[in-house]
Structure 1
Amino acid sequence: MWLYNLLPGFDIKEVLLFSFIFLLIADFLKNRNPPNYPPGPLALPLVGSIFSADFKQPQIYFAKLADIYGNVFSIRFGGEKMVLVSGYKMVKEAIVTQAENFVDRPYNAIIDRLYSGNSGGLFMSNGEIWKRQRRFALSTLRNFGLGKSTLEQSICEEVRHLQEEIEKERGKPFKPAGLFNNAVGNIICQLVMGKRFEYSDHNFQIMLKYLSELLWLEGSVWSMMYQSFPRVMKHLPGPHNKIFSHFNTLLDFISQEVKWHKKDLDHNNPRDYIDAFLTEMENHKGSELGFTENNLAMCSLDLFQAGTETTSTTLLWALVFLIKNPDIQDKVQAEIDRVIGQTRQPTMADRPNLPYTDAVIHEIQRIGNIVPLNGFRTAAKDTTLGGYFIPKGTSLVPILTSVLFDKTEWETPDTFNPGHFLDAEGRFVKREALLAFSAGKRVCLGQGLAKMELFLFLVGLLQKFSFFVPDGVELSTEGITGGTRVPHPFKVCAKAR
């Protein structure tokens, strides 16, 4: 009513009309685009395009916009404006050719609240802190087995545990999602904490459950609503509040592990990532490179989130497509039998001799499309993309779905076709357009681990079991999109071979 008091000659309707017009003008002035800015759908005052978007399948929604506006287009949700890039050539231009310009993360209201002024962990930090933390994580993971036989042995041991759990089902229908999460989660636990958990461990199960829910929520409409209207959403009830409660529970879990590590820490003989980080903290006291105990917990959580969900979800998609294409499952098993047999455990040395199996794994990564949108970037300076002007500070979204299904790069983009990765003689062929792990300076730092896990787990499973669903059951390939794209929950049967 303060405005009404300032305008005593107007009635309440006139005051409201004046206020509405004032808000429209203010919104237009604040959000008007510079010349030659990428085109996009109509943005309503204050809310932008948030009511016309499809947040259940955003990759499909954005693909339709790309068909209308081209491979570089813009959109606004609330007060948040972003430019999206589509197709292999344009995505590569942004994150590889202009990698230095599009390396930092933009402001994110959720991340700002989660990290509360801390360094931002491994994936949301920027600048020198991000560079230093990424280099440290890479070198530490290599020291503790990444790319070495020691880690391969740990994965093979976990494969045996997984096989034993599946054998207990005795051919009856079971949900594979939990078992895959257990097995893959244990690999990252060994690298970060130096130990594995029994699948029945209560705390381990809670951690994996919260990780899955957190990742879905971070990519949901609730996350977008919070980012678009943080001041309002902060005070409203809803699923978005679980983002913060789950995050804090997971941080507490990891912080407890850090305390246990500190009790018997030997700086000269670090056992895992946590030990190595604590040692590095001693060497960087008072520095601003992110070597703090709070950031240790956040970096560890980042490793868990990235190192568990993505690989276990890819294995789930593997079952979906192999069950829907039993002839391909049979062909993979025939190649495994011919090269390895059914008794000797697979090793990474077998991969060059299993070209068809390797092609199937890569095709699963392509068509599984588990990270449809990639991480947001921000322009460090004014630049151009596709002939359009991109101002400094603009948020950029590389649409990985558009790369993995680019009609100019893949012969049959919408079909599960291992031939995408085979030449005329049946030899495995790498494809540059397979950006399942992204590319450029922010390429997934755990891709070497993921590739090793996918090969050893999938070959180990198909060596021992044939997978199918009960008669009358049809698996869906549509998927549920959050932070990652996961299959709809399903049960499978595993017949011992």
Structure 2
Amino acid sequence: MLIVTCLSLFGLVLACLYYWYKRPRSFPPGPRGIPFLGVIPFLGKIPERVLFKWSKIYGPVMSLRIGRKDWISLNDYDSINQALAKQHTKFSGRPKNPVYAQFNQGCGVVRIDYGALWKSQRKFGLTTLRGFGVGKRSMEDRIVEEAAFMNEWVRSQNGKAFSPLDILHKAAASNIGSVVFGQRFDYDDEILNKLISLITGVYDNAAANFALQCMNLAPILMNIPPFSTLNHHIVNTFNTLLELLHNFIEQHKKTFQKNELRDFIDAFLKEMDEGNPGFTDDQLVQYVRDLFSAGTDTTATTLNWGLICLLHYPQIQTKLREEILKVVGLTSPVRLSHAADLHYTNAFIQELMRFRTIVPLSVFHKTNENAEINGFVIPKDTGIMVNLWAVHNDPDYWKEPDIFKPERFIDEKGNFVKSSHLVAFSVGPRHCLGEQLARMEVFLFLVSLVQNFEFLPDPDSGELPPLDCPVSGFIFTPSCYKIFANNV
């Protein structure tokens, strides 16, 4: 009897192991990890780098067992472009996001699944943002004006070291606020600072940022300490943010006039008033959250990494300023038309976006139907990780990728050269909705800062802020630091 029991248990273990290690037919190879958890314990605190390392063993299209599900990780430009651009109808889905599902009611634009609702909301967003000036002279004027306010704030520090992320958040938030809410905010505005604190309470909190990514991959963690505590913090933070945004919308409704649209909210209210499907109160508040959060934190974080690079490479900062003063001058405001002659500045910005990939694993995708890539068959509803960091750090394409070198985008004639392998905003129809606005802001804000100030390390710190980050998450955020600004 004992022998039979032992044999039965042994057979059960073998069956479980067979099930665990079994892959779908024609599925890509990849690590399976350990039963129940898969590769989660082995991804570390900077998973995009671990995935890239594994891809050198298993190939750029690689499978992963995460929890009880099979995922695909795309780790080079060709596979990402093949999936997201050339086969976008098959790879543009969004997997269920367990953390966001607690408060987003399946609404918004960034994380809703591919389908009729997403298509209508994406089209509305692009059309409306263009209508309120994105990509046009009117938006350029707003950003130039905001840059002047930002510079004045820096001057008001009177030679004291300050945290740059604070003012960068305020400048970016005030600018996106002019599009979404129809108003810019003073930097000491209580509501502006509340909005920023709620956004940064998740994405700039290293523990919460990292936990958010982990729980999206393994929902079971949401119920296990310390993740359960962080999940509670994330949900409360976003619910408070939504309540604040809801108040903005209610105020808009009281003064809404169908024939005098002031901003994005008014344009959405007009669609609601006309009874167009998909345009609801829940959709509006989540859409505004998506726009305001993404339009604030990613731009501010990119500029923040830019300032850190200026501190580490003073010779680059000097070269940038010399070019800017030669092309723009000391007192004239920078315009987008100056970009054609600011070759080294454009190279610096492109290298910055390569060197510090702000959203290293992008937003997760999902297959909408069975698909094939590199000879492998990917079943419908398979989660897809898009490793943008891997594209930007592939030594097969970038020589010495771990070195910050703007010159890699300058040709022998001294002209700026774009690279198709720079995919900071992802590719395909689900690339960042605010890419054009973000590019305008980064260029105009950065050039204006370098034109007006020499940035130096905090003399009381004794060391430079690190060029890397010990923990990665949805957004790759630098550690807190202070900076010193001298008037040029």
Range of TM-score over shorter length: over 0.9
Q: Is the 8 A contact 1:122 1:298 kept in 2?
A: no
- Specify whether residues 18 and 311 from structure 1 end up closer, same or farther in structure 2 by C-alpha distance, changes over 3 A only: farther
Cα distance, 1:495 vs structure 2: 0.6
SS in 2 for 1:220: helix
The residue number in structure 1 matching 2:115 is 127
Cα distance, 1:20 vs structure 2: 10
For 2:209 and 2:480, locate their aligned partners in 1 and report how far apart those are by CA, in whole Å.
18
Cα distance, 1:27 vs structure 2: 7.9
Unaligned runs of 5+ in 1: 1-8
Alignment-mate amino acid for residue 491 of structure 1:
K
For 2:125 and 2:23, locate their aligned partners in 1 and report how far apart those are by CA, in whole Å.
40
**Match 1:345 to one of 327, 333, 347:** 333
The residue number in structure 2 matching 1:35 is 25
Cα distance, 1:129 vs structure 2: 0.5
**Match 2:257 to one of 263, 266, 273:** 266
Deviations 1:213-236 (CA, angstroms, capped at 9, x unpaired): 333567523542465244961898
For 1:19 and 1:174, locate their aligned partners in 2 and report how far apart those are by CA, in whole Å.
64
Cα distance, 1:238 vs structure 2: 1.2
**Match 2:165 to one of 151, 166, 177:** 177
TM-score by length of 2: 0.93
SS in 2 for 1:104: coil
**Match 1:97 to one of 86, 106, 116:** 86
Cα distance, 1:469 vs structure 2: 0.4
Alignment-mate amino acid for residue 52 of structure 2:
A
Alignment-mate amino acid for residue 210 of structure 2:
S
- Specify whether residues 226 and 96 from structure 1 end up closer, same or farther in structure 2 by C-alpha distance, changes over 3 A only: closer
Deviations 1:1-25 (CA, angstroms, capped at 9, x unpaired): xxxxxxxx99xxx89x989986884
Mapping 1:315-330, distance limit 5 Å: 315-330=303-318
The residue number in structure 2 matching 1:233 is 223
The residue number in structure 2 matching 1:257 is 248
Cα distance, 1:172 vs structure 2: 2.1
For 2:46 and 2:217, locate their aligned partners in 1 and report how far apart those are by CA, in whole Å.
18
- Specify whether residues 72 and 122 from structure 1 end up closer, same or farther in structure 2 by C-alpha distance, changes over 3 A only: closer
Cα distance, 1:43 vs structure 2: 2.6
The residue number in structure 2 matching 1:47 is 37
The residue number in structure 2 matching 1:3 is none
- Specify whether residues 218 and 174 from structure 1 end up closer, same or farther in structure 2 by C-alpha distance, changes over 3 A only: closer
- Specify whether residues 263 and 30 from structure 1 end up closer, same or farther in structure 2 by C-alpha distance, changes over 3 A only: farther
For the pair 1:140 / 2:128, whether they are aligned, the reply is yes
Deviations 1:255-298 (CA, angstroms, capped at 9, x unpaired): 0000100111111111000000000111225x3xx200111000
For the pair 1:280 / 2:271, whether they are aligned, the reply is yes
SS in 2 for 1:75: strand
The residue number in structure 2 matching 1:356 is 344
Q: Is the 8 A contact 1:215 1:305 kept in 2?
A: no
**Match 1:436 to one of 407, 414, 424:** 424
**C-alpha RMSD of the superposition:** 2.4
Cα distance, 1:251 vs structure 2: 0.7
The residue number in structure 1 matching 2:154 is 166
**Match 2:70 to one of 68, 81, 105:** 81
Cα distance, 1:122 vs structure 2: 4.2
For 1:19 and 1:162, locate their aligned partners in 2 and report how far apart those are by CA, in whole Å.
68
TM-score by length of 1: 0.91
SS in 2 for 1:486: coil
The residue number in structure 2 matching 1:6 is none
For 1:234 and 1:263, locate their aligned partners in 2 and report how far apart those are by CA, in whole Å.
44
Alignment-mate amino acid for residue 153 of structure 1:
D
SS in 2 for 1:115: coil
- Specify whether residues 229 and 147 from structure 1 end up closer, same or farther in structure 2 by C-alpha distance, changes over 3 A only: closer
Q: Is the 8 A contact 1:122 1:133 kept in 2?
A: no
Q: Is the 8 A contact 1:346 1:460 kept in 2?
A: yes
Cα distance, 1:470 vs structure 2: 3.7
- Specify whether residues 270 and 406 from structure 1 end up closer, same or farther in structure 2 by C-alpha distance, changes over 3 A only: same
Cα distance, 1:124 vs structure 2: 2.5
The residue number in structure 2 matching 1:4 is none
For 2:143 and 2:441, locate their aligned partners in 1 and report how far apart those are by CA, in whole Å.
7
Cα distance, 1:156 vs structure 2: 1.1
For 1:335 and 1:468, locate their aligned partners in 2 and report how far apart those are by CA, in whole Å.
19
